[in-house]
Structure 1
Amino acid sequence: MHQTETRTVRGTLPTGSPDFVYVPVEVPEGTREIKVSYTYDRPAVPAGTAGNALDIGLFDERGTELGGRGFRGWSGGARTEFFVRADDATPGYLPGTIEAGTWQIALGPYTVAPQGLSYELTITLTYGEQAAAPDPGYPPERAKGRGRAWYRGDCHLHSWHSDGRRTPAEIAALARAAGLDFINSSDHNTHTSHAHWADAAGDDLLVMLGEEITTRNGHVLALGTDPGTFVDWRYRARDNRFGRFARQIRRSGGLVVPAHPHATCVGCNWKFGFGEADAIEVWNGPYTPDDEVALADWDSMLVASVRDGGAWIPAMGNSDAHRDPDPVGSPQTVVLAEDLTREAIQEGIKAGRSYVAESKNVSLAFTASGGQGGHAGIGGRLAVAPDTPVTVRLEVSGAPRCTVRFVTDQGVRFTGAPLPVAGSGVVEWRTTPANAAYVRAELRHETAAGPVPGALAAFTNPVFLGRTAPVAIDHDRERG
């Protein structure tokens, strides 16, 4: 029986508290386990006033400096207790040797009621010999692909390592059932799931590793980083620190993808700008009005890119699935890649060779042709003179009674008749580069609200028309 010692710490945080408050814990030699549980009060508040919400995490003796050298875990508000040992830890926390010194319990007062936030921490130290720390194993960076082909993926998924309720194995099973070829792990503010995906991957499923960096001024996906990469989240837009961590994501082999930029939850609205973005998550989970705003905002960015001749930022869509009944793979991003590898999928996403579909049932083929046999696909450019006739063609399957819309820098320029109940059809439209600097396609469901467009069933990245057109943004090339 191991000897234990329990301590209790109480405190009150007023409104206007710092984003993060650190409570020191002296950890003596011979400690084999640290366990923390906590409670806090939730007083009644007037309608429209934020109540109390308190997040929690842990940093070890290496400190709490920005960058996360001492990071040992974060559960946000998803758990009321956690433990850390050399050989094991609560999901969201890192196992590893318990070194003596001053550790810090990180408290994140997400919202504080007018009455203040009173909390109580119960800290239990268990003494004795430490077990051996495990050697992490990671999923391979390659699955058995089909060569150059369209691959389906969902890059925004939460496991029980943050506020999800599914294990990596359960998520992988749902991904396979949803027809996905690749996924990306993206737990909030922790990378601890990275070492738990190896058994879930396989020849038929590429598992990329990442994180959802959840700041108080918006969320961003680190998509496909090197195994074991942790990205700090403890800053706001006014701190001018996001660029540092965006560069860290790219140095670690990942993509920077702002998530649900117009979401209405507290702290979810994206305020860092898009200068560091490799892509934008325009569609997040079930299609809602904030996705419609994100789509319109992204389209305005496309207009600015063709007007100014600057780089353009591709769009993608992900499920953000957390727990039952959240469907994995709805929506999903369908990427034209050279093979089913981390690098090839990322290159396809960065180049905009992709479309977004609500499920595996929906398939699109979108092209523009004109001139002397010229041809371009999604994310490409048809380099013809301004007055050259161009034929835009969309082939659809799996979208019963959906309506096709073609959108250009001048707005919606074509709306077709609803597709048949069978859900398949071919729609063509003719234009010129002088009238359309780009064309992108949308599939919309039926709506009973008159002129209001229905929810998306799918949409594509653009095909650019003309001899000069923006290129997809490439931050690595810009720095070179």
Structure 2
Amino acid sequence: MTDLPPIRLHREPGASVATGSTSVRFAPGAPDWVPVPLALPDGVAALTVRYDYPRVKVPAGRAGNACDLGVLDPERFRGWSGGARTGFTLAGDTATPGYLPGPLPAGTWQLLLAPYQVSAGGFEARIEVEARFGPTAPTPAPAYPAESVPGRGPGWYRGDGHLHSVYSDGRRPPAEIAALARAAGLDWIISTEHNTPAAHPVWGPLAGDDLLIMVGEEVTTRNGHLLAAGIDPGTWIDWRFRARDHAIGATVQRIRDHGGLAVAAHPHSPIVAGRWKFGWDPVDLIEVWNGVWTLDDEAALESWDAQLVRPDGRWRPAVGDSDAHSDPDVVGLPQTVVWAEALSRRAVLAGLAAGRCWIADAAEVAVGLTATDGERTAGIGERLAVGPTDPVTVRAEVACVPDGVLRLITDEGEALAQRLGPDGTATVAWRTSAAVSSYVRLEVRRPRADGEVGPGTLETRELPYGPMAALTNPVFLDPR
């Protein structure tokens, strides 16, 4: 697609409003992102952009039409709503959720169209622009959340690191999300709107002594979604790349440079462009559990487990998040429980990066996992160096999973499975050695519903286990 001519606004003499419009035609194979230039004159106090395109019905298995919308001013990113809205308004003191308020500088802006799907016959997107002139209202100071809250000192803290509000494609206001997080027994959350930092300035007043709020972004590429978890407030991470562009390394480095962690989100998601195509090497963490436990979580867990033993010794810890957008999504289903020295952004992210964390489907679920040779003990995410044949005792604990199944998993597969009683509580001791087990991790499954087909390999087969209740990162046994 060749460069498009800029939209030029028409203003009648003495009028306080100027308008303009254009149309863009998309055919199958259109570029992923198409900038539509907009020539904005001096003195604009408010800018409104609306767009529309035909939403056609197509047979199952064929692409319909879907087109996203964002905007950049001559100097910086100003917002994104994907396909969640039909337009936006910007002013000095306010903006449509997903967009950033502030002065509206004269010059060439870019209205960013993203034809996410194009039907066989193509489609035409119509853009209408309205600019209102007058004095620019002052931009309010951002109310970013605090870097730390009192907490309980060193200990285990529960959180949800993948949440959406009305600032992208969610339907809940941030205040409702904060209230739901508290009701779920969470200690920390991370706001991760699609491709925009617009929610960052609103979270500060919603935190408190009992809830650490961090900010981030869901970098929504055409080859998978990347969470920029816990980045510096106000940071924007560009999402306009595919795996073939080899930009993932620079993107992850930007996330780290701004204090965050890079998380491969729902890597086996069946949504369009939702499957992860960048490999595990670039990221810090892998989201193996996203929302209610389903087959794509089962696939994510299996592929994550397959990379736990590598020649370089590096591994990527597993996390789980709700990815909650609106009802009936449950904030804190699942939740990641992390060992942190304090309830602070730096400490929580450090615990996650080290793999000192486990995942549960509810606040009442508790687990523990240690390995000891009688002198030294290693816990979740840690390494125990022992002689190859030295006896190692693995101790697993679980509470509040009635009638579930406790499983110990090693690099050889399932090593132990024990049914839980009606109270859902058990402690198990199991013996192994570094020669037999490279690592040990814990899974706890809910009971299966009658007639449910359990997830398996490529063939359909029944398993005696139901959906996940909790799982841990491994304890590694290193022969010395």
- Paired residue for 2:317? 314
For residues 33-57 of structure 1, what are the alpha-carbon distances to aligned partners after superposition, in whole Å with 9 as ceiling and x for unaligned? 1101111012332331010001001
CA 1:452/1:398 → structure 2, altered by over 3 Å: closer, same or farther? closer
CA-CA distance at 1:121 after TM superposition: 1.2
Say whether residues 1:294 and 2:300 are aligned partners: yes
For residues 81-131 of structure 1, what are the alpha-carbon distances to aligned partners after superposition, in whole Å with 9 as ceiling and x for unaligned? 210011110110011111111111100000000010211111111111111
Say whether the 8 Å CA contact 1:136–1:195 is kept in structure 2. yes
Say whether residues 1:141 and 2:147 are aligned partners: yes
- Paired residue for 1:472? none
Instruction: State how far apart, in whole Å, the 2-side matches of 1:247 and 1:221 are.
Output: 13
- Paired residue for 2:407? 405
CA-CA distance at 1:451 after TM superposition: 2.4
Instruction: State how far apart, in whole Å, the 2-side matches of 1:275 and 1:46 are.
Output: 38
- Paired residue for 2:383? 381
CA 1:381/1:2 → structure 2, altered by over 3 Å: closer, same or farther? farther
Say whether the 8 Å CA contact 1:283–1:294 is kept in structure 2. yes
Say whether residues 1:279 and 2:285 are aligned partners: yes
Say whether the 8 Å CA contact 1:43–1:115 is kept in structure 2. no
Partner-residue secondary structure (3-state), 2:80: strand
Instruction: State how far apart, in whole Å, the 1-side matches of 2:121 and 2:201 are.
Output: 42
- One-letter amino acid matched to 1:466: D
Say whether residues 1:201 and 2:207 are aligned partners: yes
Partner-residue secondary structure (3-state), 1:225: coil
Instruction: State how far apart, in whole Å, the 2-side matches of 1:128 and 1:38 are.
Output: 24
Instruction: State how far apart, in whole Å, the 2-side matches of 1:338 and 1:19 are.
Output: 43
Say whether residues 1:425 and 2:426 are aligned partners: yes
- Paired residue for 1:390? 392
Q: Equivalences for 1:334-345 in 2 at 5 Å?
A: 334-345=337-348
* Correspondence for 2:259 among 253, 256, 260: 253
Say whether residues 1:13 and 2:16 are aligned partners: no
For residues 20-76 of structure 1, what are the alpha-carbon distances to aligned partners after superposition, in whole Å with 9 as ceiling and x for unaligned? 1111111111111110111101233233101000100111123xxxxxxx2100000
Say whether the 8 Å CA contact 1:2–1:126 is kept in structure 2. no
CA-CA distance at 1:399 after TM superposition: 0.8
- Paired residue for 2:458? none
Say whether residues 1:25 and 2:31 are aligned partners: no
- Paired residue for 1:330? 333
- One-letter amino acid matched to 1:347: A
CA-CA distance at 1:309 after TM superposition: 3.9
* Correspondence for 1:346 among 336, 346, 349: 349
* Correspondence for 1:79 among 79, 85, 94: 85
- Paired residue for 1:129? 135
Say whether the 8 Å CA contact 1:402–1:443 is kept in structure 2. yes
Q: How many residues align?
A: 456
Instruction: State how far apart, in whole Å, the 2-side matches of 1:168 and 1:284 are.
Output: 20
Say whether residues 1:459 and 2:471 are aligned partners: yes
- Paired residue for 1:55? 68
Say whether residues 1:46 and 2:59 are aligned partners: yes
Instruction: State how far apart, in whole Å, the 2-side matches of 1:466 and 1:256 are.
Output: 27
Say whether the 8 Å CA contact 1:169–1:199 is kept in structure 2. no
Moved over 3 A (4+): none
Give ranges in structure 2 of 5+ residues lacking alignment: 1-13, 454-461
Instruction: State how far apart, in whole Å, the 2-side matches of 1:297 and 1:44 are.
Output: 35
- Paired residue for 2:219? 213
Instruction: State how far apart, in whole Å, the 2-side matches of 1:388 and 1:43 are.
Output: 66
Say whether residues 1:161 and 2:173 are aligned partners: no
- Paired residue for 2:234? 228
- One-letter amino acid matched to 1:404: L
Partner-residue secondary structure (3-state), 1:383: strand
- Paired residue for 2:122? 116
For residues 156-191 of structure 1, what are the alpha-carbon distances to aligned partners after superposition, in whole Å with 9 as ceiling and x for unaligned? 000111001111111110000011000011000000
- One-letter amino acid matched to 1:461: N
Instruction: State how far apart, in whole Å, the 1-side matches of 2:57 and 2:463 are.
Output: 42
Instruction: State how far apart, in whole Å, the 1-side matches of 2:288 and 2:192 are.
Output: 17
Q: CA RMSD in A?
A: 1.3
- Paired residue for 1:363? 366
- One-letter amino acid matched to 1:464: F
Partner-residue secondary structure (3-state), 1:172: helix
Partner-residue secondary structure (3-state), 1:302: coil
Say whether the 8 Å CA contact 1:14–1:112 is kept in structure 2. yes
For residues 415-474 of structure 1, what are the alpha-carbon distances to aligned partners after superposition, in whole Å with 9 as ceiling and x for unaligned? 112x11112111222111111010000001122444264211000000111345xxxxxx
- One-letter amino acid matched to 1:327: V
Partner-residue secondary structure (3-state), 1:199: helix
Instruction: State how far apart, in whole Å, the 1-side matches of 2:74 and 2:299 are.
Output: 45
CA-CA distance at 1:345 after TM superposition: 0.5
CA-CA distance at 1:258 after TM superposition: 0.7
Give ranges in structure 1 of 5+ residues lacking alignment: 63-69, 469-480
CA-CA distance at 1:2 after TM superposition: 7.8
Say whether the 8 Å CA contact 2:223–2:242 is kept in structure 1. yes
CA-CA distance at 1:310 after TM superposition: 2.2
Say whether the 8 Å CA contact 2:143–2:205 is kept in structure 1. no
* Correspondence for 1:191 among 190, 197, 201: 197
- One-letter amino acid matched to 1:438: Y
Instruction: State how far apart, in whole Å, the 1-side matches of 2:293 and 2:198 are.
Output: 30
- One-letter amino acid matched to 1:43: V
Say whether residues 1:99 and 2:105 are aligned partners: yes
CA-CA distance at 1:234 after TM superposition: 0.3
* Correspondence for 1:88 among 70, 87, 94: 94
